[in-house]
Amino acid sequence: QVQLQESGPGLVKPSETLSLTCTVSGASISSYYWSWLRQPPGKALEWIGYIYYSERTNYNPSLKSRVTISIDTSKNQFSLELSSVTAADTAVYYCARSKTMVRGVQKFDPWGQGTLVTVSS
Amino acid sequence: DIQMTQSPSSLSASIGDRVTITCRTSQSISNYLNWYQHKPGKAPKLLISAAYSLESGDPSRFSGSGSGTDFTLTISSLQPEDFATYYCQQSFSSPWTFGQGTKVEIK
């Protein structure tokens, strides 16, 4: 079955760039849509953005100026970079797949277990 | 963005209880709503899509209903493995948004 696993530093300093990687197993990344989401402590889940295997991207307008999502089909991985982080970016970060982004059919399935990233000096 | 309001934020229930969680959206979204189950330390899991379509392999005690702006997730007879946090998510328009979650705890 398809499995996703997030990896990356658990601690990032303010003003620096947060970088995470999601490794996909059990399926080729060369299809479908691959998203990053996050959940700050005590807050709702927030969709950050997605990349399609053709490298087409779509970002949440609330984060668009600071987000870059990229894909490496040779490694079956996709990555997140979030620049100029502050304490407000402290969250559990998840990666997830969507087979489509068509209205009404879109859903996130499956997800990774998530990784906690803390922004602190 | 479409705002999602889930209630209650938490509830305590006993094994065998019927549990109902509601999700309200800030605008009509037809039946374009998904539900997820999240257990601590595990990956969130898609439970119901398009408001009432139960994912393959999931127990029939879970059901979803609603359309427009008001939706419900029902667990007909709570089992020990159902203690988790449940989230709704709208699939009507990007950016996709989620409810705050409902934590189901043991009474």
Per-residue pLDDT tens over the stretch B39-54: 998 999 999 999 999 9
Q: pLDDT tens digits, residue range B58-103?
A: 999 999 999 999 999 999 999 999 999 999 999 999 999 999 999 9
CB contact A41 to B (< 8 Å)? no
Distance from CA of A95 to the nearest CA of B (A): 10
pLDDT 10s digits, A106-117: 999 999 999 999
Residue B28 has pLDDT above 90, yes or no: yes
Read off φ and ψ for residue A89, nearest 5 degrees: -90, 0
Q: What's chain B's average pLDDT?
A: 96
Give the per-residue pLDDT at A104.
83
Compare CB distances from B91 to A45, A107, A112 and report the shortest one's residue: A107
Structure confidence at residue A29 (pLDDT): 94
User: Residue A55's pLDDT is what?
Assistant: 82
pLDDT digits over A22-63, tens only? 999 999 999 899 999 999 999 999 999 999 988 899 999 999
Contacts of A60 in chain B (CB under 8 A): 94-95
Q: Which residues of B touch A101 (CB under 8 A)?
A: 94
Distance (Å, rounded) from C-alpha B103 to C-alpha A21? 29
Within 10 A of A119 (CB to CB), how many other CB atoms are there? Answer: 19
- The pLDDT, as a whole number, for residue A53 is 81
Nearest to B43 among A45, A107, A110 (CB): A110
| Nearest C-alpha in A relative to B94 | A60
Cis amide bond preceding A110, omega within 30: yes
Residue-wise pLDDT for B62-73, tens only, equals 999 999 999 999
Q: Residue A101 above 90 pLDDT?
A: no
Q: Are the beta carbons of B41 and A111 separated by less than 8 Å?
A: no
Closest CA to A36 of A84, A77, A65, A1: A77
Residues B47, B11, B62: CA angle, nearest 5 degrees? 25
DSSP states of B19-87 as a string? EEEEEEESS--TT-EEEEEE-TTS--EEEEETTTEEPTTS-TTEEEEEETTEEEEEESS--GGG-SEEE
